[in-house]
Amino acid sequence: SSNSTWGTERIIESDMRYVIRSWSQQGKPAQAAIARGEGSWFWDTDGKKYLDFQSQLVNMNLGHQHPRLVEAIVRQVREMAYMGPGFAVQVRAELGELIAEIAPGDLSMSFFTTGGAEANENAVRLAQHVTGRPKVMARYRSYHGATAGALSLTGDPRHHHNGPGVPGVVRFHDPYTYRTPSGQEPENCPVCQGAPHLEEVLQYEDPNTIAAIIVETVTGTNGLIVPPDGYLQSVREVADKYGIFLITDEVMAGYGRTGEWFAFNHWGIVPDIVTSAKGLNSGYVPLGAMTVGDRARQWLNQNKFWGGQTYAGHPLACASALESLKIMQDEHILENVRTQGARLDAGLRKLAERYQIMGDVRGKGLFYGVEFVTDRATREPLVPFGAAGAAAAPMQRMVAEAWEKGLYLSANNNVLRLTPPLIITEDEIDFALEILDDVIGAANARVHG
């Protein structure tokens, strides 16, 4: 039955009783019941519309119900809904080939999973097999997925709820230039430089025990952290020096979000493995990928790949990704990301001239964050790290007020995330900026009067 046959109340009631929602206490009604989406907008079951300035979970990069994308999935399901991952089928082969064309350097061979977490799980395990080493280095301000292994890599507080987790993860610090771990200016901060901090940790750990370093190229959920120029090159050099795999998690940043196919393209490096999901196919069918370079490829051609899933390389998911990438090429999506990203950046910086609580505006392309502070000089966060409930209210109130006005946003800690669909128009950016002006203005008045 279509989702328009039940009224709002009945949908919300049944959802509350029978569906477990991610990362939340159950037994409370969902924020809304949603009926449909189109382009950058979606509608609740009462007919109110919202500009999707999150692209849902930063995955619907081509927006809702893109006609070509829907059609490609329908075509595929008519022809072949599913075929086991052991067989060669054109749609899988064609997707693998197109990714190899788009990806720089020697990145050429992909394993297709059902999401980002599994892509990371496979990347780490493969790096362990190729190197014969047990441990992995991952950063604090990171989110890599919610399976036991991916949550062990994850540094954000969600990893506190992972039971014993998976052993062997060595944590290191983030190139967080707005709040350097050393308290020094970024230029003098050993963490922001990359190598000095990594070398120190490696000296204690023994580089011969480290299979991989995994980093979000541009950190998403945990603060929208853009590394300073030179950082990734430096990490790449350290990885090379010790024969460690560099895995870039581009589940959020990859496939156009930053205005390049991959975020690492901004810094001219090539990882040994890149993991992706979300924007790879705009989320129409669950899909993730790990794409590997020569070192892993050569090993895989002589050894078994010790991984698999019933739905590895699901034809519907592959068809959606293949079409998604072609749409991105045909519709010049990367250009739009740069143009609209520049407009969003300029608009936010203008707001920051008026509102003291906007401590930092940062991002690339349409991957933006605004970090809120009570005081620009001290940079005291508007809400403390890990704040929940009442402590998070100053941020959550902005999100709720934007929602009331028809703008869908999210915040994590003291950072508001702005990640609209990559098809967003100038008018839609301006619509969002107007609402942001209102809600940030009100929040600013609550702090500064």
Residues engaged in binding ligand PLP (CB under 6 A): 57, 115-117, 120, 143-145, 216, 220-221, 249, 251-252, 277, 288
Q: Which is nearer to ligand PLP, 282 or 444 (CB)?
A: 282
Q: Which is nearer to ligand PLP, 107 or 251 (CB)?
A: 251
Q: Which is nearer to ligand PLP, 252 or 327 (CB)?
A: 252
Least distance between ligand PLP and beta carbon 113 (Å): 9
Q: Which is nearer to ligand PLP, 115 or 256 (CB)?
A: 115
Least distance between ligand PLP and beta carbon 144 (Å): 5
Q: Which is nearer to ligand PLP, 54 or 444 (CB)?
A: 54
Report phi then psi at 38, rounded to 5: -155, 125
Least distance between ligand PLP and beta carbon 103 (Å): 17
Q: Which is nearer to ligand PLP, 252 or 333 (CB)?
A: 252
- Residue 307 · residue 122 · CB < 8 Å: yes
Q: Which is nearer to ligand PLP, 19 or 390 (CB)?
A: 19
- Residue 211 · residue 247 · CB < 8 Å: no
Least distance between ligand PLP and beta carbon 147 (Å): 7
Least distance between ligand PLP and beta carbon 220 (Å): 5
Least distance between ligand PLP and beta carbon 97 (Å): 23
Least distance between ligand PLP and beta carbon 443 (Å): 26
Least distance between ligand PLP and beta carbon 288 (Å): 6
Cβ-closest residue to ligand PLP?
116
Q: Which is nearer to ligand PLP, 277 or 296 (CB)?
A: 277
